[in-house]
Amino acid sequence: MERRHAVSSPAAHPEQTAPPEQPGTYDIVLVGGGSAGCVLAARLTEDAGVRVLLLEAGTAAAGLPDAVAHPPAWPGLGKTAASWGDTTVPQQTGSPSAAPGPRIMLPRGRGLGGSSAINAMVFARGHRTGYAGWSERGAKGWAYDDLVPYFQRTETAASGAPGRGTQGPLLVAPAAEPNEVLLACLDGALETGQQRARDISGGLEEGFAPVDLNVVAGRRQSAADAYLTPALDRPNLSVVTGATAHRLLFEGERCVGVEYGVDGRTHTARSAREVVLTAGAIGSAQLLLRSGIGPAQELRAAGVEVRHDLPGVGRNLHDHPRVNLVHRTSRAVPPGRGNHGEIIGLLRSAPELDGPDLQIIFIDIPVPNPVAPVENGFTIGVSPMRPYSRGTLRITSADPYAPPVLDPGYFTDRRDVAAVLSGINAARAIARSSALAAWGAEEVAPGAGAADAGSLAAYARTAFTSYCHPVGTCALGEDDTCVVDSELRVRGLAGLRVADGSVIPSIPSNNTNATVYAIAERAADLLRASA
């Protein structure tokens, strides 16, 4: 008998559940209990006749740190058991003769709620122009306007701005009282000529404003809190945590289930209709590769028997890098009570662009940096929102417990460096504004010595962090480079879909969690229509 415990607290998670005592057949098996998996588990089981199994490799409430619930604590969660602990291979520094560059930590949620349980809680759609590239490979029905109803379905937005949702499970709003230093940064942005947006989370505006957050009554609201917990008492939903998916099971070209392990024992779950991968840009691609679905030559090199040669699996990996300008202040910065990054801006690195390709985020703590420690201060983060650089995800064996080989290829396209340099100029102008004069701000990293384009580019390439938005490894579209078609079906196979951030063909100009929620909401409609 599986155990379920509903929890009313906004930050609580369902208790761990056990595998069924007898192998069962479900209508739909979901692999991955992160943002997308929680959405689909909740939406699909609204139909009492649909039996759903949700498998999650991580833990439930008992194993997640208490800090998950508390917004200011999120920066430390990437080094806890709530994260997979991934790092990239050494990244390029721009010079073929240079020493290998940094390995970048890539936090990824492990446990019910996935990355929504460890992220910075920013909830923004990104500008509508950031979705224009989704149709370049022939994807149908995935333009920004197509996604708007699904964005709305996810949220109850406090702003009341046009086009926002009013009845969704996620209660989203800007911080009620942003940190004083962040408000000074906002004033500085306006002083330097930047626009003031009304609803920077809504997808239609450029400029600077407080951003919506997944914070309710001072506590994080994850996908598990908003979607999964209210659905746990449904008799047609089973949830198994601590369940590592080993491989997909097939009869001919049709996926019919999943083999998974719990506590050293192997189990199988069969699907009468479909298996849906919701394990994210890393987990979903890994499982396809381990199951023999991917580039044939690479699979053979990893000792994996090729089931279906699909070259796009693991390709197109990309992410938002973030370059941090760290400032020491003579005035004490108040302790952060929110997510530390409560105000963002979307702007263009060049006026001729069709939309914003940069985000500037004001952060009320001095992010650790390689130049010098700062005990009191703030950070201005600069991120290229529509990067051109692309990389790969590979596996080295069929071992389901072996880590992947991750190479996002950060800054391998010089256009991304150029965009960041434009953003640094804008950020430095804000830091020099009279609005921040009272704080006595001094840039420590990269520092005044980094004044020319070459030194700033070198700093960007070697001192950046991941913004933790990996996407693209199972790209959506209709051409031969794509992994899933416009209905999220894995090309060339039956009974198998992917519905998470891995299908994003080109990353939009936002912290991507809001987009993943919308993808999952649309996937629920697609699955209902195919029944």
The helix (run of H) or strand (run of E) holding residue 267 is strand 265-277
Torsion, Cα of 33, 37, 42, 43 (10° steps): -170
Please tell me whether 467 is known to bind a ligand.
yes
The total number of residues shown for the chain amounts to 531
Cα distance between residue 422 and residue 354, in whole Å: 16
Which one of the listed residues 246, 308, 340, 469 is annotated catalytic? Answer: 469
Q: Please, is 190 exposed, middle or buried when counting C-beta atoms within 10 Å of its C-beta (0-12, 13-18, 19+)? A: middle
Q: Band of the pLDDT at 20, cuts 50, 70, 90?
A: low
Q: Going by DSSP bridges, is the β-strand pair 321-328/465-466 parallel, antiparallel, or unpaired?
A: antiparallel
327 is catalytic: no
What average pLDDT is seen over the chain?
94
Q: Is the pLDDT of residue 493 over 70?
A: yes
* pLDDT > 90 fraction of the chain, expressed in percent and rounded: 91
Give the Cα separation of 300 and 289 in Å (integer).
11
The neighbour count for residue 432, using CB atoms within 10 Å, is 15
- Determine the Cα–Cα distance for residues 18 and 16; give it in Å rounded to an integer: 7
Residue 370, pLDDT score: 87
Question: Could you please report the per-residue DSSP string of 293-323?
Answer: EE-HHHHHHTT---SEE-TTTT-SBB--EEE
Using the Cα atoms of residue 269, residue 275, residue 278 and residue 282 in order, give the sign of their dihedral: positive
Distance, in Å, from the CA atom of 415 to the CA atom of 420, rounded to the nearest integer, reads 9
Does 501 appear as a known binding residue?
Answer: yes
Average pLDDT in the 386-414 region? 97
Q: Output 330 or 101, whichever has higher pLDDT.
A: 330
Least-confidence region, from 90-99, 115-124, 397-406, 454-463: 90-99
Average pLDDT of 515-520? Answer: 98
Give residue-wise pLDDT tens across range 145-175.
Answer: 999 999 999 999 999 999 999 999 999 999 9
Out of 20-24, 339-343, 361-365, 392-396, which region has the weakest mean confidence (pLDDT)? 20-24
Strands (E), 356-438: 358-363, 377-384, 392-394, 405-407
Going along 431-523, which residue ranges are E strands?
442-445, 465-466, 496-498
Calculate ∠ Cα 97-320-65, nearest 5°: 110
**Any known ligand binding at 122?**
yes
* Rounded CA separation 350/362 (Å): 21
Q: What is the pLDDT of residues 365-377, one digit of tens each?
A: 999 998 889 999 9
pLDDT computed for residue 503 by the predictor: 98
Q: Is the pLDDT of residue 397 over 50?
A: yes
DSSP-H helix ranges across 200-345? 223, 280-290, 296-301
Query: Residue 4: is its pLDDT beyond 60?
Result: no
Cα 201-206-209 angle, rounded to 5 deg: 55
pLDDT band at 447 (very low <50, low <70, confident <90, very high): very high
Q: pLDDT tier at 18 (50, 70, 90 boundaries)?
A: low
Tell me what pLDDT residue 10 has.
Answer: 37
Q: What is the bridge-based pairing of β-strands 215-216 and 207-210? A: unpaired
The answer on whether 121 is annotated among ligand-binding residues is yes
Q: Is the dihedral of CA 368, 370, 375, 380 positive or negative?
A: negative
Sort strands 358-363 and 377-384 into parallel, antiparallel or unpaired.
antiparallel
**Nearest CA-CA partner of 104 in 320, 417, 424, 366:** 320
Q: What is the C-alpha separation between 230 and 82, in angstroms, rounded?
A: 22
Tell which phi-psi region holds residue 125, choosing left (phi > 0), alpha (psi between -120 and 50) or beta.
alpha
- CB distance 42 to 231 below 8 Å: yes
Question: Are residues 151 and 516 in contact, defined by beta-carbon separation less than 8 angstroms?
Answer: no
* Helix axes of 513-529 and 144-154: crossing angle, nearest 10 degrees: 100
CA distance 411 to 484: 27
User: Among residues 299, 207, 281, which one has the least CA distance to residue 498?
Assistant: 281
CA 84, 393, 487: angle at the middle one, nearest 5? 95
Residue 406 has a pLDDT of 98
Q: Identify the structural domains of the chain with CATH numbers, from first to last.
A: 25-64+222-317+471-529 (3.50.50.60), 67-103+168-220+320-391+402-466 (3.30.560.10)
First-to-last alpha carbon distance for the chain, in angstroms, is 28
**Alpha-carbon span 15 to 5, nearest angstrom:** 6
Asked if residues 104 and 89 have their Cβ atoms less than 8 Å apart, the reply is no
d(CA 500, CA 429): 38
- Distance, in Å, from the CA atom of 247 to the CA atom of 292, rounded to the nearest integer, reads 9
Could you report the per-residue pLDDT of 398-409, keeping only the tens digit for each? Answer: 999 999 999 999
Query: What single DSSP character describes residue 290?
Result: H
CA distances from 90 to 157, 409, 469 (A): 40, 9, 18
